[in-house]
């Protein structure tokens, strides 16, 4: 029986296991970067981690602050520029990329632009960045959803998944053959895409989660794999690696700030009598 773990740790480990040895991997800031570091340390030592900004084959040591944070790694093989990273993707050199999800539909199309009407949105999101390019031309894409939502119809199509399903993506002629999202890893389970219809289905449940709980958050009739599996509990060495190297990602930055603030205020209050003297 492994030690207790946080939801963030479960997600980090599940994402890390999608990185295979000798793959070229484009990673963003946050959980995906921590997953890349974990994969490099325990699962895929010869994987080539790439920052969107063009820092190639780097070895992460602390969480990144931005996509060009070379101070967050122990070293890297070489650096180029943002344009060259995208060019590598267009030319077929990127094996897998990881994209966060704000809204996603049943065919893996993504919205990271606005929630609600475009001209008068409820929430305005960061936009595409490199997401539309990576999901279009990387050989495969893993979607991650920490706080996003499943919807029947996107408020805005930022990044193309399987369009209208079936062979519509291939027929469009705009994308690398065979590319597209292969999995979505959420806080409740892992979803895959049917090879024929390209519709998302539930393939794996995280410990303690039920199919009924997952379906409550899905606005369409979600299909469930007949071979439904449960996500493996994290091993101690996996948990220890995350906590020792990326503690803010282990518990989440919001909780980490709350803990740090509470600790600071406690020390400040304890020092007040001394200061007043």
Residue range 135-151, pLDDT digits in tens = 999 999 999 998 899 99
Q: Is residue 38 one of the residues assigned to a domain? A: yes
Would 275 be classed as within a structural domain?
no
Task: Summarize the confidence of residues 71-99 as an average pLDDT.
Answer: 90
Say whether 30 sits in a helix, a strand or coil: coil
Stretch 108-113: mean pLDDT: 96
Residues labelled catalytic: 52
Q: Cβ–Cβ contacts within 10 Å for residue 230, how many?
A: 12
Q: What pLDDT, on a 0 to 100 scale, did the predictor assign at position 116? A: 92
CATH code (residue 71)? 3.40.1080.10
* Per-residue model confidence (pLDDT) at position 240: 95
Is the residue at 70 inside a domain? yes
User: What's the confidence (pLDDT) of residue 248?
Assistant: 86
Check pLDDT > 80 for residue 31: yes
pLDDT digits (tens, 9 = 90+) for 227-262: 999 999 999 999 999 999 988 888 776 666 666 677
Q: How many domains does the chain have?
A: 1
Longest dimension (CA), the chain: 78
With respect to residue 213, please indicate whether it lies within any of the assigned structural domains.
yes
What's the rounded mean pLDDT across residues 6-12?
Answer: 94
pLDDT number for residue 190: 98
| Straight-line distance from the first to the last Cα atom of the chain, in angstroms, rounded to the nearest whole number | 53
* Structure confidence at residue 24 (pLDDT): 97
**What is the chain's Cα-based Rg?**
20
Asked whether the predicted pLDDT for residue 41 surpasses 70, the reply is yes
- What pLDDT does 271 receive? 77
Task: Give mean pLDDT, residues 158-163.
Answer: 97
Tell me whether residue 2 is in a domain. no
Strand partners, 214: none
| Distance (Å, whole) CA 16 – CA 73 | 18
Measured torsion, CA atoms of residues 186, 189, 193, 195, in degrees rounded to the nearest 10: 150
pLDDT band at 107 (very low <50, low <70, confident <90, very high): very high
Residue 109 belongs to what domain range?
7-245
Q: 17 lies in a domain?
A: yes
What percent of the chain shows pLDDT beyond 70? 94
What is the pLDDT at residue 218?
96
Task: Establish if 257 belongs to a structural domain.
Answer: no
Residue 16 has pLDDT above 60, yes or no: yes
11: part of which helix (H) or strand (E)?
helix 7-16
Instruction: Say which residue, 252 or 87, is predicted with more confidence.
Output: 87
pLDDT at 187: 95
């Amino acid at each position: 029986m492994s030690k207790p773990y946080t939801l963030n740790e479960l997600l980090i480990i599940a994402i890390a296991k999608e990185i295979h040895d000798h793959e070229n991997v484009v990673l963003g800031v946050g959980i995906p970067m921590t997953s890349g570091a974990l994969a490099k340390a325990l699962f895929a030592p010869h994987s080539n981690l790439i920052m969107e900004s063009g820092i190639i084959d780097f070895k992460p040591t602390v969480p990144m602050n931005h996509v060009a944070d070379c101070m967050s790694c122990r070293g890297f093989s070489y650096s180029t520029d943002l344009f060259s990273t995208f060019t590598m993707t267009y030319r077929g050199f990127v094996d897998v990329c990881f994209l966060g999800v704000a809204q996603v539909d049943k065919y893996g199309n993504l919205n990271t632009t606005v929630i609600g009407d475009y001209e008068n949105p409820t929430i305005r999101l960061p936009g595409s960045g490199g997401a539309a390019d990576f999901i279009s031309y990387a050989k495969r894409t893993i979607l991650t959803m920490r706080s996003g939502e499943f919807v029947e119809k996107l408020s805005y199509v930022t990044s193309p998944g399987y369009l209208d399903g079936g062979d519509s993506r291939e027929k469009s002629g705009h994308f690398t053959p065979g590319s597209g999202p292969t999995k979505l890893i959420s806080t409740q389970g892992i979803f895959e895409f049917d090879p024929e219809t390209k519709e998302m289905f539930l393939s794996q449940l995280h410990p303690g989660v039920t199919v009924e709980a997952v379906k409550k958050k899905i606005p369409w009739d979600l299909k469930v794999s007949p071979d439904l599996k449960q996500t493996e509990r994290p091993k101690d060495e996996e948990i220890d690696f995350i906590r020792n190297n990326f503690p803010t990602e282990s518990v989440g930055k919001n909780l980490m700030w709350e803990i740090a603030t509470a600790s600071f205020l406690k020390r400040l209050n304890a020092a007040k009598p001394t200061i007043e003297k």
